[in-house]
Amino acid sequence: MEERRINVVVNGQPRSVDVEPRLLLAHFLREVLGLTGTHIGCDTTNCGACTVLVDGLPMKSCTMFAVMADGHEVMTVEGLGIPSELHPIQEGFREEHGLQCGFCTPGMMLASKALLDENPDPTEEDVRWALSGNLCRCTGYQNIVKSVLWAAEKLRSEARAVSR
C-alpha cells in the first residue's frame, strides 16, 4: 500500500511523516512517534483509554486513521506537563488519588482537559458526563471526579492570580 505524507502538530511539535493510509492514530502515536502514554484497550471506542485531543476535542484514537489528523493539532498525555511541572489535571489526579492501575488515566486526563477548557467551573454531574466515554475498571470514579474538580479549582485560582 502506498504511503501518504501527513503534516500534524503533536504536543506543539510539527511533524511531517509518511504513513500507510490504514494506520490508526493510536498506532501512529505509539509506534511511529514513540508516545506510549496513549493506551490501547479495546479497539472499538468502548473504553476511552486511547483518548487524545484533536484540535482540542477528545477523540478515540483507536478508530481514527492517522491520515485524518493531517493538518490538525494532536495532544497526548505527554503534552500536558512534565515531571518537574505537572499540569493541574495531573496534580489533581495525584492529590485526590484519581488513579489506581493507571491504564485509563491518560484518556481520563485528556477528556478532563477538554471539559475544563470548555467549562472552567464544572459541577460533579458535568465531570461525570464528560468522562462517561472513558471506562475505569479499578477506582469507582469518585476520586477521578474529585481530581477533576480539584484541577478546575486550581486552574480558576491561577486565572484569578494572573488577572490581578
CATH number at residue 98: 1.10.150.120
> Is 66 found in the same domain as 126?
no
Residue type at position 53: L
Rounded Cα distance between 45 and 133, Å, is 8
Within-domain flag for 134:
yes
Of the candidates 79, 113, 144, which is a domain's last residue? 79
Is 122 inside a domain boundary? yes
pLDDT at 164: 78
Pairing mode of beta strands 51-54, 73-75:
antiparallel
Both 68 and 101 in one domain: the answer is no
Beta bridge partners, 53, equal: 58, 75
**CA within 13 Å, CB half, 9:** 8
Domain boundary among 46, 79, 112: 79
Same domain, 144 and 110: yes
Question: Looking at 79, 104, 122, which one is the last position of a domain?
Answer: 79
Total domains in the fold of the chain? 2
**Same-domain check for residues 100 and 62:** no
The pTM of this model reads 0.95
pLDDT in tens, the chain (164 residues): 799 999 999 999 999 999 999 999 999 999 999 999 999 999 788 999 999 999 999 999 999 999 999 999 999 999 999 889 999 999 999 999 999 999 999 999 999 999 999 999 999 999 999 999 999 999 889 999 999 999 999 999 999 998 87
- Are 35 and 69 found together in one domain? yes
11 lies in the same domain as 75: yes
Q: Return the C-alpha cell found at 104.
A: 485509563
Determine the structural domain holding residue 27 and report its residue range. Answer: 4-79
Does residue 45 form part of some domain? yes
Residues 61 and 42 in one domain: yes
Q: List, in sequence order, the alpha helices (H) in the chain.
A: 25-27, 88-95, 105-118, 124-130, 142-163
**What whole-number distance in Å separates Cα of residue 81 and Cα of residue 133?**
23
Does a structural domain hold residue 164? no
Is residue 146 located within the same domain as residue 103?
yes
Q: Whole-angstrom Cα distance, residue 79 to residue 10?
A: 8
